[in-house]
Chains A and B, each alone.
Chain A
Amino acid sequence: MADPVSRPDPPVADDPATAAGWVDAPPRMGFFTDTSVCIGCKACEVACKEWNGVPTSGLDLLGMSYDNTGALTANSWRHVAFVEQPRPAGHPPAASTGAEPTARTEFLGMPGAAPPGRTGSADGRSDFRWLMMSDVCKHCTRAGCLDVCPTGALFRTEFGTVVVQEDICNGCGYCVSACPYGVIDRRADDGRAWKCTLCYDRIGAGMTPACAQACPTESIQYGPLDELRDRAAARVAALHERGVPEARLYGHDPADGVGGDGAFFLLLDEPEVYGLPPDPQVPTADLGRMWRRAGVAALAMAAGAVAAFLGGRR
């Protein structure tokens, strides 16, 4: 690896809307998704589909706990992940320390008629914990999808969010490969790229995005990003105090590889347990170096051609 510890060039100001040329932009808006209170009701998935008129994803039983959505796709802009983790019986999850190695996700066979871990004998019993998390586009400060879009279909809104203009997108698919979170996706029958808009139409009218509005536990919170970050820090501190040392924030740090997420999370385990990349980086962070290497190769090409004609008589 050429430059293993490469960090992105200095993070762009935490105000991407102004950086994108908006004058007098409103405060940056975002989501704080607190997975510690998520009950896995999928109201956010439904509300998003209803409001945004997102086509069905088809009925598909994936056999991944209660998750039959599978992943964020062009037709699922919120995705509730269900993680089943066995725990030794009699030890509440809170008793574990954050330092011990993370329990591996194990499929316990839910949904089923009986709770998991019920065997005939008392010794064989196990306890389990359920992690649920409503995933969404992160609306990155440095968004890979936006950087590489060759048509200008993806753009930065005045709220600092990232939105696709469906009348511009020609379905080149570049954004799909450039998103370090695997969020944006091309819809098969339509050919264009789709993802969460952070309800651009609703927030423009001063309303709350559909998912946050529908969430019955306030797991999804919407608001100015600064405020959300303060709230999240307080929540993590409270959880730590209450004996949940594994609580941690994800995507809140403006110094991370994507300059911080507009939609960030409170998680109860490592990010990859939920299907999130542990250290995402915007691909364009290395773009300058890439062009330089390509320039060297282009010069080598030209030199090779010159040498081929000067290097012999015939």
Chain B
Amino acid sequence: MSPRPPAEDEPHRPSTDDRPPAGHGPRAPGEDESRRPVGERFRRFRDGVSSGANESGVTPAAGRRRRRAGEELAVPPAEFTSYYGRPILKPPVWTWEIAAYLFTGGLAAGSSLLAVGGQLTGRPALRRAGRVTALAAVTASGVLLVKDLGRPERFHHMLRVAKPTSPMSVGTWILTAYGPAAGLAAIAEVAPLLPDRGPWRPVRRVLPPVGWAAGVAAAAVAPALGTYTAVLLSDTAVPSWHDAYPDLPLVFAGSALASGAGAALIAVPPRQAGPARRLAVAGAALELFGAHRVETRHGLLAEPYRTGRPGRLLRAGRALTAAGVVGALLGARSRVVSALSGAALLAASVATRFGVFHAGVASARDPRYTVLPQRERLQRRQAGEQDG
């Protein structure tokens, strides 16, 4: 029992504070304010003041969040209980490298498809640009993926197993098949630079057919490379990624095509860039269709895609995609306009990938996205069981 009635404590409290007396020791006025009273952190959290990760690396999400002007929440905030507002799930430990890889992987895939088309239809500039972009993008992908590991020196442990239940393992093998093919195809582009005499002569002769085969092989794997990343994200407990599994692959496929087309629009003279322009249209259509579904068909779990930073990124991506497509079509004769459109398409793909990435992270940080849909599912199941 307290030797001192806690009521004595009252004058030291802010008058707006209506919580039950907790009985801290007496605090002299002017006492060191850095010694926060017990429960201070929780109350700050509860009042929605706290934001960002706290010391334990877990970000409590505010129960009530401010709405930004112009962002209507389609779903009214529902009541739910949680343990001090703490996230139930662990937010992904992946950092920006993975979001960037989503972009570079897609860029490589789109570029390889354009390269093989250029190769088969006699557009050497398109072929060359596609192959070189693909090699650069897949190299960047490898670096990003290894860098994101907790133990980068153990990256080769990925090659110990082939596990169909792990999209990351599947992706490892896709990259293992794709990387060397894309690399060989790009290396073959140096053939014309080699001397046609002496020891280099046979190399110069053999490279083009090797590059041809490698280009076809890379393109055959490219659609898998461009879309498996959607399964990589969806096959997690992260609510907004998991729930979006039917539609995310469309977004990623479209974004991959559009970014590949964007790179080609920058690198290829307009005369040979016709297919890239058409691919930009096709990719943009696929991406916008998929993104629309992601943002509208998933109830509460679509909210993270529309609000906050991810919402802004996805809107920016949409605007840039539209600008890029319009520029690519209208500026078909101008090298400068084409290149600018290409840059817009590349930027759009980056914004979309980071938007999708951060939407998932936000959904894992806030327990409401874990609790409410699961409660709803439970209720639906119980209702179904009662019906029959």
Measured CB to CB, the residues of A under 8 A from B are 1-2, 4-5, 7, 57-58, 60-64, 70-71, 73, 81, 83, 86, 102, 104-105, 107-120, 126, 144, 147-153, 168-174, 176-188, 190-193, 270, 272-281, 283-284, 286-287, 289-291, 293-302, 304-309, 311-314
Contacts and interface: CB of A to CB of B under 8 A. Distances in A.
Nearest to A191: B150
B256 A275 contact: no
Contacts of B56: 57, 60, 62, 70-71, 73
Contact of A71 (B86, B172, B257): B86
Contact of B253 (A57, A81, A186, A300): A300
A182 B1 CA distance: 38
Contact of B42 (A63, A119, A283): A63
Contacts of A152: 160-161, 163
B336 to A, nearest CB: 18
A305 B117 contact: yes
B121 interface: yes
Given A1-B299, A301-B227, A274 B83 contact: yes
A57 B116 CA distance: 54
A178 B223 contact: no
B94 A173 contact: yes
Interface of B: 1-7, 19-25, 36, 38-43, 46, 55-58, 80-84, 86-90, 92-94, 109, 113-114, 116-117, 120-121, 148-152, 154-155, 157-158, 160-161, 163, 165-169, 172, 219, 222-224, 226-228, 230-231, 234-238, 242-243, 245-247, 249-250, 252-253, 256-257, 261, 271, 274-276, 278-279, 282-283, 286, 290, 297-299, 301, 364, 367, 370-371, 373-375, 377-378, 380-381, 384
Contact of B157 (A73, A111, A151, A299): A151
Contacts of A71: 56, 58, 86
Contacts of B58: 70-71
B168 to A, nearest CB: 4
7 contacts: A61-B38, A168-B160, A170-B151, A174-B166, A191-B151, A280-B374, A309-B117
Nearest to B45: A63
A185 to B, nearest CB: 6
Contacts of A61: 38, 41
A156 to B, nearest CB: 12
B202 to A, nearest CB: 32
Nearest to B220: A302
Given A275-B83, A302-B223, A173 B88 contact: no
A177 B364 contact: yes
Given A60-B56, A144-B237, A172 B168 contact: yes
Contacts of B370: 277
Contacts of B87: 182
Contacts of A111: 38
A63 B39 contact: yes
Contacts of B4: 113
Given A63-B41, A298-B253, 13 more contacts: A63-B42, A113-B24, A114-B22, A118-B6, A170-B151, A170-B152, A182-B89, A278-B371, A297-B290, A299-B223, A305-B117, A308-B261, A308-B278
Given A63-B38, A294-B228, A294-B231, A314 B271 contact: yes
B377 A5 contact: yes
A180 B120 CA distance: 47
A83 B249 CA distance: 41
A301 B283 CA distance: 8
Contacts of A294: 227-228, 230-231, 249
B348 to A, nearest CB: 16
A314 B274 contact: yes
Contacts of A58: 55
Given A107-B84, A272-B82, A283-B235, A114 B21 contact: yes
Contact of A151 (B83, B158, B228): B158
A309 B275 contact: yes
A62 B41 contact: yes
Contact of B84 (A4, A64, A298): A64
A107, A299, A301: which has the most chain B beta carbons within 10 Å? Answer: A301
A277 B371 contact: yes
B56 to A, nearest CB: 5
Contact of A304 (B21, B235, B282): B282
A4 B282 contact: no
B384 A5 contact: yes
A202 B140 CA distance: 45
A296 B252 CA distance: 12
A153 B163 CA distance: 12
Contacts of B168: 148, 150, 172, 174
B83 A172 contact: no
